[in-house]
Amino acid sequence: MRERITQMIVKEFIQTLRDRRRWMLLFGAPIIQLFLFGYVVTTDVNNISTALYDLDRSQESRELARRLEASGYFNVRYAPQSPGEIRDLIDRGEVLCAIQINRNFAKDLKRRIPTEIQVIVDGTDSNTAMVALSYVTKVIAKYAWEYAVNTVGTVLSPPDFRTRVWYNPDLKSRNYNVPGVIASIIMITCIMLTSMAIVREREVGTMEQLMVTPIRPVELMLGKTIPFAIIGLLDMFMVTVAGVLWFGITIKGSLLLLLMGTSVYLLSILGIGLFISTILKTQQQSLLATMFFNMPAMLLSGFMFPIENMPVIFQYITYLNPLRYFLVIIRGIFLKGNGFVVLWPQMAALFVLGTVIITISSFRFRKRLG
């Protein structure tokens, strides 16, 4: 039995690696994806092109302007002379954000009259807009607090809110995204390869040939999934190394735990690939089906969009998604140094999910063969 499985695995490797283009794609594509995702899926917003319309031109208004610049978030490039100019700048996409300080800013401050600062943001990119607003608010709040504390000795002084950021002090989205990319790359690669490999044999006709040999369904399944498990692990190793070396991601937790988590994850992934292969006849179909599964799986996993912000129905759906659990595991290990004590619920969930999927898939697989 072991001999047959080994032979199948060897054959699979030969077939996959013989075509030069294929193995270039196999190992090149994940790296490309890593770089793309790593550099693009950065929700870090910097260098916000800003216009400052200062009608007051007082010491205080200039101080505000200085603080905006000094924060490092804003790039004050324009000093428009009229509201119309502001409109034009935003329309043309030249600035993302415009700040208008009214004529009586300093005077009102001194007279303790609440004074307004107009902040206009281009909302087409709502996330960037939100982040820009966050930054503006922070700068203004800090200035407001320091002004209050320094200029007036009052009866009640406002509290100082000090924020500390844990786990990712530089707030680099990369640290959060790269582990996520690793997780999703494995998913796409393994499901696609596994399902296509099995379907291909069917399409080309060699499946019949295999069935005539004494091979048992279990051996066939193992022979078809193990190679891609190995490739998946290799891919993950490769992408992790690239992530660490190039992007400077650190892994705070245990590598062993990571390996364990990945293996349990692969149970589900390969099970899904197997399942897809039992429904389809042609390679084109299996490609479409893989994408059909992957798209929602990636979106509804917490990879790019936090689950807690989704409508409740969708949150429930994510419980069925193996990627959801693995993301917690991989991010936990990379960023927080989580140990088994914290992560065992996710591991258990993956184990259960994986076992169920594989059981269903094997039933179907046997039926298809027999």
Partner 1 sequence: MRFLRIKAIAKKELIQIWRDPLSLIIALLMPVIQLFIYGYAITFDVNNITTVVYDQDKSSLSRELVAQFKESGYFTLVAYVDNYDDIDAYLDSNRARVAITIPYDFSKKMRTGNPAHVEVIIDGSDSNTATIAEGYVAAISLRYAQRITTRTVLPVMDPRTRVWFNPELKSRNFIIPGLIAVIMSVVVALLTSLTVAREWERGTMEQLISTPVKPSELIIGKLAPYFAIGFMDMVLAVLVGVTLFGVPLRGDIVLLVVLSSVFLFGTVSFGVLISIIAKRSQSVASQIAILSTMLPAFLLSGFLFAISNMPKPLQVITYIFPARYFVTILKGVFLKGSTLTLLWKEGIMLAMAGAIVFFLAIRKLHKRID
* Other Cβ atoms within 10 Å of 362 Cβ, number: 17
How many residues touch partner 1 under the rule CB under 8 A: the total is 114
Within positions 224 to 263, which residues make up the interface with partner 1, using CB under 8 A?
none
Tell me the Cα Rg of the chain: 28
Coil, strand, or helix at residue 251? coil
Asked if 18 interacts with partner 1 (CB under 8 A), we say no
Q: Of the candidates 298, 300, 299, 338, which has an alpha carbon nearest to the alpha carbon of residue 319?
A: 300
For position 360 contacting partner 1 by CB under 8 A, the verdict is no
Give the residue among 305, 358, 27, 322 at the shortest CA–CA distance from 189: 27
Q: Map residues 32-51 to x or -, x wherever contact with partner 1 holds by CB under 8 A.
A: xx--xx-xxxxxxxxx-x--
CB of 124 to partner 1, least distance (A): 5
Q: Does 76 bind partner 1 (CB under 8 A)?
A: no
The sheet carrying 97-101 orders its strands as: 74-78, 48-54, 97-101
Task: Please list every residue from 140 through 159 that binds partner 1, using CB under 8 A.
Answer: 140-145, 147-149, 151-159
Nearer Cβ to partner 1, position 62 or 216? 62
In 205-254, which residue ranges form alpha helices assigned H by DSSP? 206-212, 217-247
Q: With CB under 8 A as the contact rule, which of the stretches 51-59, 136-144, 248-256, 257-265 interacts with partner 1? A: 136-144
Q: Which of 237, 246, 305, 340 binds partner 1 (CB under 8 A)?
A: 305
Whichever of 149 and 352 has its CB closer to partner 1, that residue is 149
Judged by beta carbon, residue 128 or residue 362, the one nearer partner 1 is 128
Site mask, partner 1, residues 317-336, x = CB under 8 A? -----------x--xx--xx
Binding pattern for the stretch 163-182 against partner 1, x by CB under 8 A and - elsewhere: xxxxxxx-xxx-xx------
100 secondary structure, DSSP code:
E
**What DSSP string runs through 26-62?**
HHHHHHHHHHHHHHHS-----SEEEEEEESS-SHHHH
> Which residue's structure tokens are 């990369």?
174
Contact segment (CB under 8 A) with partner 1 among 135-143, 221-229, 246-254, 264-272 equals: 135-143
Q: What burial class does residue 224 get, using C-beta atoms within 10 Å of its C-beta: 0-12 exposed, 13-18 middle, 19+ buried?
A: buried
- Which of the residues 268 through 297 are near partner 1 (CB under 8 A)? 280, 282-285, 287-289, 291-292, 295-296
The verdict on 133 binding partner 1 (CB under 8 A) reads yes
DSSP for residue 257: H
Q: Choose among 99, 131, 138: nearest CA to 118.
A: 99
Site track for partner 1 across 102-121, x = CB under 8 A: -------xx-x-xxxxxxxx
Q: Nearer Cβ to partner 1, position 140 or 238? A: 140
Cβ-based nearer residue to partner 1, 43 or 213: 43
Q: Does 359 interact with partner 1 (rule: CB under 8 A)?
A: no
Neighbouring C-beta atoms of residue 223, cutoff 10 Å? 20
Nearest-approach distance from CB 330 to partner 1, in angstroms: 11
Residue 1 Cβ, how far from partner 1 at the closest point, in Å?
30
112 vs 51: CA distance, rounded Å: 27
Which residue carries 């935003």 as its tokens?
90
CA distance 337 to 255: 10
What minimum distance in Å lies between the beta carbon of 70 and partner 1? 16
